[in-house]
Chain A
Amino acid sequence: MDNHSIISSKIPSLGFNRSQRGQSVVMLVFVTAIVLVGTLSLFAFEMARVCLAQQQLAACVESAALAGAATTASSNSTDPTTTQDSAMATALNMFQKNTILGQSLSGTTQASSLPMSPAANGALVFFQFLDPVTLLPVPIGSTNGKILQVTGSFGIVPAFQKYLGLATSYTLNAVSNGGLPMVDVILCFDISASMDDFTLVSIVDRYKLNSTTNGYKVIAQNPLYTAFGATSATGTAVNATFPQGLDNSSATDGIYTFSSALRGQNNNAAASSAVSADFTDLVVNIDGTNTFSAGTNVVYNGTSYSFPANNIGCLVEAARGNLESSTVATTAHVPYASWGVVPKVGYYQAYLQAAFAQRHPIGDAITAAQNFFTIMNNDCDVHFGLVTFSTNAGTTATSTVPPDDGGSIGNITDNSGTYSSNVDPSDPVSPLPPNPTIDLKSTAGAAYSNYSTVNTAVQTVLAYGGTNISGALQQALNQMKPTSQGGLGLTRAGANKVIVLFTDGLPTDSSLGGDPTQDARTEASAASTLGIPIYCIGLCMVPSLQASQTAVLTDQSSNPSTGGIAGISGNGAVFYQATQISELNLVFENVARALVKLVN
């Protein structure tokens, strides 16, 4: 046997053959592993990238849905088509501000139908409005379209498309619904006497100019608060229209004093012969000017009533009821012929109608509240409650404001015992101003939303009395508190509970019997415990008083002893301060916008 034979015979036992096979396998596995692991790695990376793109697309669509829904909520248009068109345009604009995998979405356009096929690295969006109850699409312009659904598509291009043999691009889709959630909202609405403090008025001393006619000395004009030189943070208790409470002007509410003696009888009587520094009449400049410089014609019950420009006497006599007939006017020494005015039945009511339309800020607040009700009703599944408050919070739909002096309210003074009311013609509200509260309804369905009821109720209110914020919040919370906690449990299951507090002043009264401001804070703490935000709207047109109102209503401090009602209630509540009457609508729209969120 030669050496090779010897070696060969040894090989099997030494494992030499195994070694050769192992090397082949090792090399095969090595090469395969490089290819396989590399491919799998790239594929894993692609998958991670797709997941990331999907996540980013979802966020971009969310952003667009929120922007569109917020636009809907804060729209000042009550036309659904206009509002929805604007919402879609805003949503598209917001979508275009974002990026996906570094690709700008600025070139995104709106698709007209589903499904969408965007270009590589491009995006498309599709909008539709849903009914919040059925969650089904409705046509643009439908009042049931309260949820904006945004569908976004993005054409993702694989990073290793050629190496992995993938398609040029793949379409990713994401959907998001934006809108107002199901809401049970109670509006606490201030109807205190100060709510007409910015009505343009003339303060007048009516006296006998000569033996046959009356004279009218204009003591002051401008908004009621400034005309009276009032400085109180809680406003003035004097009112521009019934019930006027003119005797309050001698207290802390102004620098002029009402003279009951000089006023004489309310109607059908001549003026006193003495000219005085005291005033006898307070009338509204029903043309909306500071000095009644424009004049106006008022149509009441189909008849036109003339109020010539700069003729304060005409306003005074109409407000007294002395223009109801020529006989009455002549007896009262009214020089109506020289004014070019023809006395006739209805002058008093015509004046009152025009004066009510010029009440500020209560008239503007009523309009803004009604606009808020309409926006909310158009935008979401909402149920409304209303708690009006002055000295007390109303408890029923027919509640009335109690007289300040405990007696009955006269149309001129705060107490009919000190001056008789107008008896001919009669006042529009008798015997007491309305102070309505409308309870929420826990039954589901639009028929139980109270939309019409609260709109009508808020329209009837007059400015009178104090500011009982704690009582109003207590009343609202009682409606929202579950029966298991001693409340009325009038909210719907699953509904977001929200209180909106509107006031033009500071707390002056309390149903809890303590300090009005601290009691209001106590109620805010109770709201916080119940998870109910109190959105606060403060109207304050006197710059020097804005800080003190802010301190009571602010959302910047949640200290239960020193903080603001919005801040103490927490749960996302916000305080808005309007410093102009013209801002009221916008402020209420801001509240609606603040409630927007993504919905299912």
Chain B
Amino acid sequence: MNSYPRHAINTFFYSRSRGTALMEVALSASMLIVLAAVGSDITLVTCGMTLNDSTCRDATRAAAQQSTSAAALSAAQAQLKIHATDGVFVSQPILVSTSSPNFVYNDYGGSPPANTSPYVTVTTSVNVKLPAPIVFLGATFSPGGYIQFIRSYTYPIIKEKFYG
């Protein structure tokens, strides 16, 4: 009988079984990592979109209650501070700019055309840093690996400045 050394058998079989287990663990772990990454990406994207939207809406609402452009801008900026974020994954919302078309305070000098309301437009943005890159969602990717969400709202000016 041709016999194989006992240690050769052990080396052949035992090492392969250990490798399989490691492979299972590795694959499972990688799947878990992917799951976690995708999950956290979606969570952060959702948070960023929703936060930017609600911030923009609240800022525009507040601006629409003011009777001057300066007061409207100030009110909008105050609202941005209220919507605090962690500052790491989701940045603090900011006004894209304080000039047209991103910030518009149009009271028509107190004489709006027929069937037209004085209005204020506010545009805000939020940068979201994703743990794992995502190449869809239609978002703008900034150079630093951030997704930038931009949102504009237009609301009617309720407390108009009176132009005599």
A residues near B, CB below 8 A? 1-3, 6-7, 10-11, 14-16, 19, 22-23, 26, 29-30, 33, 37, 41, 44-45, 48, 51-52, 55-56, 59-60, 62-63, 66-67, 70-71, 86, 89-90, 93-94, 97-99, 102, 159, 572, 574, 576-580, 583, 586-587, 590, 593-594, 596-597
Separation of A11 and B9 alpha carbons in the complex (Å): 11
Q: Which of B1-57 contact A (CB under 8 A)?
A: 1-4, 9, 13-14, 16-17, 20, 23-24, 27-28, 31, 34-35, 38-39, 42, 45-46, 49-50, 53-54, 57
CB distance from B137 to the nearest CB of A (A): 7
Say whether B17 contacts A94, CB under 8 Å: no
Say whether B45 contacts A577, CB under 8 Å: no
**Top 9 A-B pairs, shortest CB-CB distance:** A89-B115, A67-B156, A67-B117, A97-B154, A48-B46, A576-B162, A19-B20, A579-B164, A59-B57
| Pairs across A and B, CB under 8 Å, 12 listed | A16-B16, A19-B17, A45-B137, A48-B42, A51-B50, A52-B49, A63-B155, A97-B119, A98-B152, A102-B138, A572-B159, A577-B162
Separation of A593 and B38 alpha carbons in the complex (Å): 49
A45-B137, A59-B153, A99-B152 in contact; A37/B121 too (CB < 8 A)? no
For residue B116, CB closer than 8 A to chain A, the reply is yes
Say whether B115 contacts A583, CB under 8 Å: no
CB distance from A159 to the nearest CB of B (A): 7
A45-B45, A86-B114, A574-B67 in contact; A70/B20 too (CB < 8 A)? no
Say whether A37 contacts B38, CB under 8 Å: yes
Say whether A97 contacts B160, CB under 8 Å: no
Chain A residues with Cβ below 8 Å from B156 are 63, 66-67, 70, 90, 94
Q: Which of A3, A15, A102, A586 contacts B4 (CB 8 A)?
A: A3
For residue B158, CB closer than 8 A to chain A, the reply is yes
Say whether B53 contacts A94, CB under 8 Å: no
Closest to B151 in A: A56
CB distance from B43 to the nearest CB of A (A): 9
Separation of A51 and B53 alpha carbons in the complex (Å): 11
Chain B residues with Cβ below 8 Å from A98 are 152-154
Say whether B20 contacts A45, CB under 8 Å: no
Bin chain B's interface residue count: 35 or more
CB distance from B150 to the nearest CB of A (A): 9
Separation of A198 and B122 alpha carbons in the complex (Å): 44
Chain A residues with Cβ below 8 Å from B160 are 590, 593-594
CB distance from B96 to the nearest CB of A (A): 14
A3-B4, A16-B13, A577-B164 in contact; A26/B23 too (CB < 8 A)? yes
For residue B65, CB closer than 8 A to chain A, the reply is yes
Say whether B13 contacts A55, CB under 8 Å: no
Separation of A33 and B42 alpha carbons in the complex (Å): 17
Separation of A52 and B17 alpha carbons in the complex (Å): 50
For residue B64, CB closer than 8 A to chain A, the reply is yes
Chain A residues with Cβ below 8 Å from B34 are 37
Separation of A3 and B114 alpha carbons in the complex (Å): 99
CB distance from B47 to the nearest CB of A (A): 9
Separation of A580 and B158 alpha carbons in the complex (Å): 23
Say whether B17 contacts A15, CB under 8 Å: yes
Q: Which of A30, A51, A55, A71 contacts B31 (CB 8 A)?
A: A30
Separation of A136 and B117 alpha carbons in the complex (Å): 26
CB distance from B164 to the nearest CB of A (A): 4
Chain A residues with Cβ below 8 Å from B28 are 26
Separation of A89 and B113 alpha carbons in the complex (Å): 12
Say whether B162 contacts A66, CB under 8 Å: no
Say whether A86 contacts B13, CB under 8 Å: no
CB distance from A199 to the nearest CB of B (A): 20
Chain B residues with Cβ below 8 Å from A97 are 119, 121, 154
Say whether B117 contacts A94, CB under 8 Å: yes
Separation of A102 and B123 alpha carbons in the complex (Å): 13
Say whether B119 contacts A94, CB under 8 Å: yes
CB distance from B141 to the nearest CB of A (A): 16
Separation of A22 and B116 alpha carbons in the complex (Å): 69
Separation of A99 and B60 alpha carbons in the complex (Å): 14
Closest to A73 in B: B158
Chain A residues with Cβ below 8 Å from B9 are 7, 10
Separation of A579 and B23 alpha carbons in the complex (Å): 85
Chain B residues with Cβ below 8 Å from A16 are 13, 16-17
Chain B residues with Cβ below 8 Å from A37 are 31, 34-35, 38
Chain B residues with Cβ below 8 Å from A90 are 115-117, 156
Most buried by B among A37, A59, A93: A59
CB distance from B159 to the nearest CB of A (A): 5
Closest to B112 in A: A90
Say whether B117 contacts A70, CB under 8 Å: yes
Chain A residues with Cβ below 8 Å from B136 are 159
Chain B residues with Cβ below 8 Å from A99 are 152
Chain A residues with Cβ below 8 Å from B4 are 3, 6
CB distance from A404 to the nearest CB of B (A): 32
Contact with A along B67-93 (1 / 0, CB 8 A): 100000000000000000000000000
Separation of A26 and B64 alpha carbons in the complex (Å): 58
Closest to B19 in A: A19
Say whether A41 contacts B38, CB under 8 Å: yes
Chain A residues with Cβ below 8 Å from B17 are 14-16, 19
CB distance from A564 to the nearest CB of B (A): 14
A44-B42, A63-B154, A593-B158 in contact; A56/B117 too (CB < 8 A)? no
Closest to A11 in B: B13
Closest to A541 in B: B164
Q: Which of A11, A33, A66 contacts B158 (CB 8 A)?
A: A66
Chain B residues with Cβ below 8 Å from A56 are 53
